Each structure stands twice: as C-alpha cells, then as structure tokens.
Amino acid sequence: MTKSNYIKIAKRASSVQIAELKKINKTFNKSFIQTINVISNCKGKIIFTGQGKSGKIAASVSSTMSSFGIPSFFVHPSEVPHGESGAFKKKDVLIIISYSGNTPELQSVISHANRFGIKIIGCSSNKASTLLKHSDVKILLPKVREVGPTGMVPTSSTTLTLLYFNCLAVALMDKIKFSKNKFIIFHSGGSIGKELLTCGQTCLKGNKLPLINYKSNILKAIQIINKKKLGLGIIVKNKLAVGIVTDGDIRRGAKKFSKKDKINTLMTKKPLYINESASAHKGLSIMSNNLITSLLVSSDGDYKKNKIYFKPKGILHIHSLLKYGIK
C-alpha cells in the first residue's frame, strides 16, 4: 500500500468521526443539566470508574475536573470488591462510564453504590442497559458508526464520550465561576503554571524591600542597599514611591556629592513600574527592553490611575523570576 493510500484512509476515518460527533448536540438535554447540578452540589468527592477504554476516558475526565478544583479521582472497577470501596462515602457521587452499559466488571461497583446510598451518574449508549437502570442520572449517548475495517474497534464512540465530558467540564467551570487566578492554585507547575504567574506572586515584598526615606543621606541609603542586596533602593515619601536609586547611580555621583548629601539628589524620578496582576512574563519583557534588572510593582488601582507616585507593593527582580523558571 502506498503512502497516499494511508493518507486517504486517515482522511476518510476523520470525515466519518467528525460526522458522527455532530450527534453530540442531542445529549445536551435535561440529564446534562442534572449532571451539572449533582456534581456542583456534591458535598463529597466525584468518583469515576469504567472498564477498558471507557476507564481511560473516566481517568482523563477525573484529572480534568481535579485541575479546576472539583475533588475527583478514578478507581478501577476490579479493585472495588478488594478494598477500594472503603474510599466511597455517602456524600460522594459515582460516575460510571460504559458504552454498552452491561460490562460485567461494573456490577460490583453498582451494587456497592446502591447498598450505601451513593448517587450514581451512569453514561451509556444503551437505554435498556443494567447501568442506566440503576443510575440516578442517566446520560444516554447516541450510537455512532465506528471506523476501521471491522467497524468494531471503539473509535468514534470513545471520541464522542470524551467530547461529551469535556463539554460538561467547560459548563462546570462556568457554574463554579472558574478563573485563571483559581487555576494557578491547582496547576502551579509546568509551562501552564509559569504562564499564569503574576508580578504580584513573583515579586519581593515586605521587609525584603529596600525602602529609603526621601530625606535620608547617601550614607544611610548605601547601608540599606547593601543590607537588602538588590543593588538598588526605592525612595519613598509619605509611604509613596517617588524615585529609585541604584548602586551605579551612587558610584557615578560619588565625585559630585558627599555621603551627607540627601539621596534624592541622585534618584531617578518617575521610575518604571507594573501592576501586580500583570503576568510575570510581561514584567520580564519590560525589564529586557529597558536593560534593567528590577521593576517596581504597584497595586492594580494605582496602575489604572497612572499615578506618578504610588505605594510600592513589591519589586520584581531578575533573580526572583529565574527562581520561578521564568526566563
């Protein structure tokens, strides 16, 4: 078989699955709303289970829900009668995925849930299946045409099932008012976590800030800069940042001024700054474009008002960004 024939097969398989997936819209009905309400009102955990490929989908969906704050985990049905049932509590919700709805391995799971009054959300394409008969919420998926030479290997059906639960996840995100700020709590690692980090989260704060009073002399400023070890100081007047001075500014001014002169004679007025909710990557970009290693951080309110003088919330430093893996 030539390479072009393989491509034709793939395109044909893609076309069939795309056509079959359009049937998904029929499933966004009363049971879809019931599922959203049951999950969002659950006082316990959301437990997913399924056998074979349905189990793989169940595990994937469970992971997705955990990533946006819905406590969830997957349990293999064969493990339930061997001790895993101890993780089930009456306040939990059990979601069972089985395209046929009659998978023998799921019987013990259904029996256990029914015995202890655990609510079941069943997902199947078989209206008369054992699973849906014993489910409190019944998700009936449409029967679809599988692709491949036998038409028996789960292809379109697995894609449809995953699509359904991905759509459900998106609806749940809206229900619980999920946002980027919440996502960073559950997904602080990896490239996604880095992209979501803000200047407010990565900047140096509190007693780490080299705050220097506007009326301080140069000697006092040097002492503070040396103590904080950032190579610069923030000049403040009535708790507002009015300027910035670097150790380089002090060295260059050494011949013109004595250590008793006021530090405000050396400071750079109207220093660059960024708001605390801006992305850390944006802060790094500003520093790179201006060839500086530090950037003041203000509150979002002061930034929106474009204030010349503002209360410093922190200082973004190149070393702190590197610590978070932002470069």
Write down the pLDDT at residue 326. Answer: 81
Determine which helix (DSSP H) or strand (DSSP E) holds 277, and give its type and residue range. none
**pTM for the full predicted model:** 0.69
Asked if the model's pLDDT at residue 327 lies above 90, the reply is no
The string of pLDDT tens digits covering residues 57-88 is 999 999 999 988 899 999 999 888 777 777 88
For 120-164, write each residue's pLDDT tens digit: 999 999 999 999 999 999 999 999 999 988 989 999 999 999 999
- 156-175 and 53-67 helices, crossing angle to 10°: 20
- Quick check: 178 pLDDT over 90? no
- Confidence category of residue 191, pLDDT binned at 50, 70, 90: low
The rounded distance, in Å, linking the Cα atoms of 291 and 175 is 44
Alpha-helical runs (H) found in 148-258: 156-175, 180-186, 190-196, 199-202, 218-228, 247-252
310 closest CA partner among 282, 281, 277, 271: 271
Name the percent of the chain in helix, strand, coil, to the closest 5: 50, 20, 35
- CB count in 10 Å sphere of residue 4: 8
Domain ranges of the chain: 3-178, 199-323
- How many other CB atoms are there within 10 angstroms of residue 137's CB atom? 22
Residue 169 pLDDT? 96
Average pLDDT, the chain: 90
CA distance linking residue 105 with residue 118, whole number of Å = 18
Region 199-323: CATH code? 3.10.580.10
Residue 14: CB partners within 8 Å, gap ≥ 6?
Answer: none
- CB burial of 209-240 (b: ≥16 within 10 Å; e: otherwise) equals bbbbbeebbbebbbebbeebebebbbbbeeee
CA distance 233 to 82: 64
Residue linked to tokens 């009073």: 213
pLDDT in tens, 193-246: 677 788 998 899 999 999 999 999 999 999 999 999 999 999 999 999 999 999
Phi-psi region of 229 (alpha: psi -120 to 50; beta: other; left: phi over 0): left
Three-class SS of 75-112: CCHHHHHHCHHHHCCCCCEEEEECCCCCCHHHHHHHHH
Q: Are 160 and 145 in contact (CB under 8 A)?
A: no
Superfamily classification of domain 3-178: Glucose-6-phosphate isomerase like protein; domain 1 (3.40.50.10490)
Contact, 96 vs 49, CB < 8 A?
A: yes
In this prediction, residues 34-52 reach a mean pLDDT of 96
- Distance, in Å, from the CA atom of 231 to the CA atom of 209, rounded to the nearest integer, reads 11
